[in-house]
Chain A
Amino acid sequence: MDALYRDYILDHYKNPRNFGTLEPHDLEHHDHNPLCGDELGVHLITDDQGTITDLRFHGQGCAISQASASITSEELVGMKVDEIPDLSAEWVFELLGIPISPTRRKCALLSLKVMRGATGGDASWPE
């Protein structure tokens, strides 16, 4: 078993959950990793209470960034829009469950960055 490319990481990479687009959608954001050029966008549908009822990521990236989007997407559906800005880098790393080296940090965090942008929060790199 590979410590980084674990079975479930590769599964999410090869068969990403909640990938594609949603038309129409209520919220959206698109961003990229300037280091590598990888791109990720998100479409969100919310209800009257501000709950995320559906979500789709789209774009291209490495196994870590794609698995991060896929794995977090399963947690994000059902969350309140105003909860998103408080999600931390650590929240992502725990969900991923793999060691993230400094050079792969932005790969893992691009999806949260995009979510923060979509939900009106600070779209800088999560701490």
Chain B
Amino acid sequence: MSAVRPTLDVRADFPVLREGPGAGERGLAYLDSAATSQKPDAVIDAMATFNRSSYGTVHRSVYKLAEHSTELFEGARTKAAELVSWEPETTIFTANATAAINLVAYTWARQNIGQGDQIVLTQMEHHSNIVPWQIVAAEKGATLRWLHVSEDGRISLEELDQVLAEGNVRLVAVTHVSNVLGTINPVAEVAARARAAGAVCLVDGSQAVPQMPVDLHEVGADFYAWTAHKALGPSGLGLLHGRRELLEAMPPFLGGGHMISQVGLESSTWAELPGKFEAGTSAITEAVGLGAAIDYLNDIGMDAVRAHEADLSAYALERLPEVEGLRVFGPAEAEARGGVISFEVEGIHPHDLAEICDRGGVCIRAGHHCAQPLMRELGVSATARASFHVYSGREDVDRLVESLHDARKVFAL
């Protein structure tokens, strides 16, 4: 076993880990952060305090309450933009990452993708970065092209080059970090190749922004989507960062209040960015919560968050194979991974593993993880998955391994 390294010790900031159902005396070993992250007191309190003492509408009214709300709401946008080195005006609040991707699918894609065009995806995409493009492709007569995932969970830039060389590729949509395999994809290389071929590149950063430093100028994508609830913030709020010239040329997505400049009887004109894409009242309290989550993450430092996740991944990769019949999916090296590990145990279905883990307060995910094309490529219908965040520790991995041994006993293996 490797020497114990100093890692984050912030578990006490997350009340659900000691108070949630099934916590027991040892607390929860919450290993499903790739699905959704837990919230620290700082986020819970910021949202409660805001609702109690500062809540008002944003961008609408002149009274102090509304002005204060607007400052906090726009402050959160600025924090979110700065977190990924982007500008606030081209940082759009959406309902979640799925809504952010659909925004692009319903506006940019419907204007720019036509009959015979190609949309390039990878086999490791989440359904949220697959289904919107299937809908667009069916409507426009475009073709979906799939980049293969290798045995060790990687995509090939050579295959991308080959597909791009065929021409007619209008969009390359790729996940930054796989929610199943943990693979950190070379998105900067993908985006550069896509742009050189005249295609637009959309990156799904849902699993990346919460756990590693992300600089969107380095990534170089045209669109980048992520979601607050995986980054210690609340559900109900996603983000879309886009290149200004694309966003300005795009038609609005949803029509309604706030997204207009002027409304006439027959037609209207659109608000400036980002308002043009934010019809209706946004998730105000949630934005305040996200602002608090970003402050919390910045206090830790995203480099430290990444180091912590990498340490836990390495530790899990070391300990999980102690369980007989266990097979890990994805890259073998922790450096190539985000803090998520999918695995199977021979003779026990992932659902049954998750059920037995739950008895020990160990929360893991079992299923297709909204990535059925990848499951088919892996030759399974489901996997078990453990994923980490700042509050996770090596003892959570120890408890997981303990539970997996228990499962083998229950199944008389």
Please report A residues at the B interface, Cβ cutoff 8 Å: 2, 4-5, 10, 14, 35-39, 60-64, 66, 104, 107
Does B412 count as interface, using CB distance less than 8 angstroms?
Answer: yes
Contact A64 B368 (CB under 8 A): no
Contact B355 A104 (CB under 8 A): yes
Contact A5 B352 (CB under 8 A): yes
Chain B nearest CB: distance from A105 CB in Å? 12
- A2 / chain B contacts, CB cutoff of 8 Å: 410
Contact of B351 among A10, A14, A39, A62 (CB under 8 A): A62
- B411 / chain A contacts, CB cutoff of 8 Å: 5, 10, 63
Knowing A10-B412, A37-B367, the reply to whether A61 touches B349 (Cβ < 8 A) is yes
Contact B355 A4 (CB under 8 A): yes
Contact B381 A36 (CB under 8 A): yes
Does B366 count as interface, using CB distance less than 8 angstroms?
Answer: yes
Nearest 9 interchain pairs by C-beta: A37-B368, A62-B351, A62-B349, A36-B367, A37-B381, A63-B352, A5-B410, A62-B352, A2-B410
Task: Write out, one digit per residue, whether chain B residues 221-234 have a CB within 8 A of any chain A CB (1) or not (0).
Answer: 00000000000000
CA distance A36 to B368 in the complex (A): 6
CA distance A14 to B368 in the complex (A): 22
Chain B residue with the shortest CB-CB distance to A14: B347
Contact of B375 among A37, A104, A107 (CB under 8 A): A37
- A4 / chain B contacts, CB cutoff of 8 Å: 355
Contact B355 A39 (CB under 8 A): no
Residue from A14, A35, A37, A63 whose CB has the most chain B CB atoms within 10 Å: A37
A sample of 5 inter-chain contacts (CB < 8 A) reads A37-B368, A60-B381, A61-B381, A64-B351, A104-B355
Chain B residue with the shortest CB-CB distance to A37: B368
Chain A residue with the shortest CB-CB distance to B368: A37
Does B54 count as interface, using CB distance less than 8 angstroms?
Answer: no
CA distance A7 to B349 in the complex (A): 16
- A38 / chain B contacts, CB cutoff of 8 Å: 351, 381-382
CA distance A27 to B348 in the complex (A): 31
- A63 / chain B contacts, CB cutoff of 8 Å: 348-349, 351-352, 411
CA distance A35 to B348 in the complex (A): 18
CA distance A5 to B347 in the complex (A): 13
Q: Which of B360-413 contact A (CB under 8 A)?
A: 366-368, 372, 375, 381-382, 410-412
- B375 / chain A contacts, CB cutoff of 8 Å: 37
- B348 / chain A contacts, CB cutoff of 8 Å: 63
- A66 / chain B contacts, CB cutoff of 8 Å: 349
Chain A nearest CB: distance from B371 CB in Å? 10
Contact A37 B382 (CB under 8 A): yes
Chain B residue with the shortest CB-CB distance to A5: B410
CA distance A115 to B56 in the complex (A): 55
- B350 / chain A contacts, CB cutoff of 8 Å: 36, 62
CA distance A62 to B349 in the complex (A): 5
- A39 / chain B contacts, CB cutoff of 8 Å: 381
CA distance A63 to B381 in the complex (A): 14
Chain B nearest CB: distance from A64 CB in Å? 7
- B349 / chain A contacts, CB cutoff of 8 Å: 60-63, 66
Chain B residue with the shortest CB-CB distance to A103: B355
Q: Which of B106-162 contact A (CB under 8 A)?
A: none
- A36 / chain B contacts, CB cutoff of 8 Å: 350-351, 366-368, 381-382
- B368 / chain A contacts, CB cutoff of 8 Å: 36-37
CA distance A64 to B410 in the complex (A): 14
Contact B367 A35 (CB under 8 A): yes
Chain B residue with the shortest CB-CB distance to A32: B381
- B381 / chain A contacts, CB cutoff of 8 Å: 36-39, 60-61
Contact B372 A37 (CB under 8 A): yes
- A64 / chain B contacts, CB cutoff of 8 Å: 351-352
- B352 / chain A contacts, CB cutoff of 8 Å: 5, 62-64
Residue from B348, B355, B412 whose CB has the most chain A CB atoms within 10 Å: B355
Other A-B pairs, 15, CB within 8 Å; known A5-B410, A61-B349, A61-B381: A10-B412, A36-B350, A36-B366, A36-B381, A36-B382, A37-B367, A37-B375, A38-B351, A38-B381, A38-B382, A61-B351, A63-B349, A64-B351, A64-B352, A107-B351
CA distance A113 to B134 in the complex (A): 28
